[in-house]
């Protein structure tokens, strides 16, 4: 009986000890909550209140607390492009702010607003999602800022001097001839079958950039290469992460399955770049060539004018184009410009403000990310009448002279404009001229039925099928 009573006492003491321990743990957790969590919630709430007060004069899309986070997360890349266009038509002031998580993004798409940010020599730091690209591109010209960026820009600038571009033109011409042979081989399999032009343009552009910039011939056009598909996948993963603010933390992202997929992609890219391109990122010329052929294949009357110009300049010659001959192709110039208006290779860029910026009644606080929406300013009906119409004559001198220079910015503008602009345009004209001297093209789909997405570059989300017919 005594043993049973002692046993009960021991059990009672043990239970009491367990309760005491649980009370102690609860007390510790409660103390941590009071000391850490509640102040953090108060600080975040106050910070959000102060931040939102600063934006009270700016049109806002979306409601607190999640604003557009879930809305944009559920959309496809193509639907996000349409979402931004709808916001442009909704907010005619040329500005609106939306929030992803607790982070505001100010969208600008009027030339006079863009000019203030783009012309600054202070606000040159890239914002989201460029920060997420550092593991991919490192601190190169695209992602660097301040002293490093000025140093790199000055160092790389001479590479794109006119005299050196003439040397690059020889390589571009060689790669254009290989492109023609690759297309001839594909067409010969079935002359009636339409061809997806993007892979051909992509491999040609990769061949050009690797040999001109690094002096290495990767023979991308002669053999299938994993690099180009991997680049596209990496771009997709970055944009998927951008619309999921809980994945913005590097340490947490690296623990997730998508973070591990991204790391695998980066390893493939870095292996290639170490062996070949020494950290050269991806080329946007391929999408520009693809969209130009697509639009010419949908606007045959404009294509006919291009052929007339080609015949006038080259006559019966079959020798590769020279830089001097390319400079005479004024109508093709306007075709390319109009294509880049409708399909800018980089549809938007961002800046993280290094100082407060005041524009009229608007004040943008330091540290905020501003989205400079190139695509939206190019499609703004207040600037471009009937903006979706393909009309190369918009770029006739008499039609351009009164236009704000920041109304058309396919290569950005200001001190941080695209350093490779002349290189890209020369390459584009060289490859397009080689194709159009040999074939007429006709697109299968219309511009309003083809899907595209803004995964860092403005690329098609589906195959761009084109018929090639030999010129008579």
For residue 440, the SS3 value is strand
Q: Residue 286: in which H helix or E strand, if any?
A: helix 285-296
Structure tokens at 96: 């609106």
CA separation (Å) from 33 to 27, 30, 37, 409, 425? 10, 5, 5, 51, 59
**What pLDDT is recorded for position 432?**
97
- Better-predicted residue by pLDDT, 212 or 19: 212
Residues 6+ apart with CB under 8 A from 2: none
Residue 392's pLDDT is what?
97
Assigned token pair, 151: 């140093």
- Higher-scoring residue by pLDDT: 269, 170: 170
**Mean of pLDDT values over 58-79:** 78
Query: Is the pLDDT at 336 greater than 80, yes or no?
Result: yes
Which parts are annotated binding residues? 418
User: What would the 3-class secondary structure string for 85-132 be?
Assistant: HHHHHHCCCCEEEEEECCEEEEEECCHHHHHHHHCCCCCCCCCCCHHH
% of the chain with per-residue pLDDT over 70: 75
Its pTM stands at 0.77
Residue ranges of the domains in the chain?
Answer: 1-54, 134-470
Torsion of CA 111, 114, 116, 122, to 10 degrees: -150
Task: Tell me the DSSP string of 307-361.
Answer: HHHHHHHHTT--SPPPHHHHHT-HHHHHHHHHHHHHS-SS--EEEE-SS-EEETT
pLDDT digits (tens, 9 = 90+) for 6-61: 554 555 555 555 556 656 666 676 676 666 666 666 766 666 677 777 777 888 88
Residues flagged as binding site for heme: 418
Could you tell me which CATH class the domain 134-470 is placed in? mainly alpha
Is the pLDDT confidence value at 70 over 60?
yes
Tens-place pLDDT, residues 257-310: 888 888 888 777 766 665 544 434 747 899 999 999 999 999 999 999 999 999
Q: How far apart, in whole angstroms, are the C-alpha atoms of residue 93 and residue 362?
A: 12
Lowest mean pLDDT among 100-114, 250-264, 308-322, 349-363: 250-264
The average pLDDT across 115-135 equals: 75
Any idea which residue has 């933390």 for tokens?
249
The mean pLDDT value of the chain amounts to 82
């Amino acid at each position: 009986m005594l043993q049973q009573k002692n046993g009960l006492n021991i059990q009672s003491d043990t239970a009491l000890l367990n309760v005491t321990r649980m009370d102690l743990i609860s007390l510790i957790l409660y103390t941590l909550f009071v000391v850490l969590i509640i102040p953090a919630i108060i600080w975040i709430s106050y910070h959000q209140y102060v931040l939102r007060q600063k934006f009270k004069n700016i049109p806002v899309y979306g409601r607190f607390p999640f604003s557009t986070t879930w809305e944009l997360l559920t959309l496809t890349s193509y639907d996000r492009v349409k979402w931004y266009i709808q916001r442009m038509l909704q907010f005619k002031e040329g500005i609106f702010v939306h929030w992803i998580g607790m982070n505001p993004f100010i969208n600008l798409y009027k030339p006079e607003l863009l000019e203030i940010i783009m012309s600054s020599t202070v606000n040159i730091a890239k914002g989201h999602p460029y920060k997420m690209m550092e593991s991919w591109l490192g601190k190169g010209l695209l992602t660097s800022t301040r002293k490093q960026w000025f140093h790199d820009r000055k160092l790389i600038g001479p590479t794109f001097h006119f005299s050196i571009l003439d040397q690059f033109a020889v390589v571009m011409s060689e790669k254009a001839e290989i492109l023609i042979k690759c297309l001839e081989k594909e067409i010969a399999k079935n002359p009636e079958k339409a061809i997806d032009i993007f892979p051909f343009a992509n491999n040609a552009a990769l061949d050009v950039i690797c040999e001109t910039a690094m002096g290495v011939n990767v023979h991308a056009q002669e053999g299938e290469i994993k690099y180009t598909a991997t680049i596209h996948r990496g771009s997709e993963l970055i944009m998927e992460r951008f619309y999921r603010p809980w994945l913005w933390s590097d340490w947490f992202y690296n623990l997730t399955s998508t973070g591990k997929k991204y790391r695998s992609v980066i390893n493939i890219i870095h292996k290639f770049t170490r062996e070949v391109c020494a950290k050269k990122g991806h080329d946007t010329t391929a999408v520009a060539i693809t969209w130009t052929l697509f639009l010419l294949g949908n606007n045959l009357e404009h294509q006919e004018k291009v052929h007339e110009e080609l015949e006038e300049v080259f006559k019966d010659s079959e020798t590769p184009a020279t830089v001097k001959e390319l400079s005479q192709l004024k109508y093709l110039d306007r075709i390319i410009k109009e294509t880049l208006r409708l399909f800018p290779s980089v549809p938007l860029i961002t800046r993280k403000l290094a100082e407060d910026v005041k524009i009229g009644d608007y004040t943008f606080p330091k540290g905020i990310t501003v989205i400079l929406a190139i695509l939206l300013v190019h499609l703004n009906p207040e600037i471009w009448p009937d903006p979706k119409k393909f009309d190369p004559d918009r770029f006739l001198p008499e039609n351009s002279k009164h236009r704000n220079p920041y109304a058309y910015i396919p290569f950005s503008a200001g001190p941080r404009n695209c350093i490779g602009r002349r290189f890209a345009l020369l390459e584009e004209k060289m490859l397009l001229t080689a194709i159009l001297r040999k074939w007429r093209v006709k697109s299968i789909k219309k511009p309003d039925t083809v899907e595209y997405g803004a995964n860092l570059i403005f690329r098609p989300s589906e195959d761009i099928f084109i018929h090639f017919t030999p010129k008579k």
